[in-house]
Amino acid sequence: MDTFDHPIFTESMRLIREQLGETGLDPLQQQVLERLIHSSGDFGLTPLLRFSSRAPQVGLRALQAGAPILTDTAMAAAAVQPMSRRTLNASVHCMLDWAPDCAPQGSTRTAAGLQAAWQELGSQALGQQQAPIVLIGSAPTALEALLKLVTSGALAPSLIIGMPVGFVGVVESKRKLASSGLAQIRLEGSRGGAGLVAAAMNALFRAAYLSK
C-alpha cells in the first residue's frame, strides 16, 4: 500500500475494476478512466473517453520534466494543487488570472485569458523546453482559442485534457481538438467539467510520481 492509498479508495478501485471488466486500455489509460469514474460515479463515461497515441505517457513525461499546468477554472486549479504538492510540485495556473475584467466583444474572458497566459507561459517554456499541460473543463471558447494559436504557429501544449461541459460550442470544440493532431485526452459529447479534468490530471500526477 503506498502513501496515496486509503482503504475506502482501495475498495472503490476494486469495485470499479470489477464492474468495468476488460477494457482493452493500456495501464495508464486505465488509471485515467478509473479516476474519472471514481470522481463522477459514472460508468457511462467509459465509451466517451478518447486518447491520442500514448497521450498519458506523453503527459507523464512532461510532468516529470517540469511542465506547468494551466486550467480554465479556479475550481480545476484548486482540485489539482493538492496532488501536485504531494507529488511533483508542478506549478498550477488558472487562465482567468490573465483575463480582463470584461469579456471582449465576440469572445469570453476565459478565451482572452488563455491568449494572454499562453503568450507568457509559452515564452517561458521556450527556455525550459517544456510546454504547459492545459486542462479545459468548462470553456470551449478557450479550447478553440488555444487551437487557433497553435495553428498560427504558437507553441503547442505538451498535452490537452479537453473535457468542456455543456451544449453551446462544446461538441464543435471537441471535434476540432480531435482533428488537431495534438496530444490529448478528451471526452466526447456534452459531458465534462472541472472535476473530471482534475481527476484525469491527478491520475497522471500519481503515475508520474510513482514511476520516478
Spatial contact of 189 and 171, defined as CB atoms under 8 Å apart: yes
Decide if 63 contacts 204 (C-beta within 8 A): yes
Grid cell digits, residue 52: 491520442
Cβ atoms of 155 and 131 closer than 8 Å: yes
* Bridge partners, 135 (sequence order): 71, 161
Grid cell locating 92: 498550477
Residues involved in catalysis: 38
CB 186 within 8 A of CB 161: yes
Residue 36: closest CA among 189, 138, 185, 211? 185
The alpha carbon of 128 is separated from its chain's Cα centroid by a whole number of angstroms, namely 21
Q: For residue 113, what is its C-alpha cell? A: 485569458
CB 133 within 8 A of CB 118: no
CB 135 within 8 A of CB 72: yes
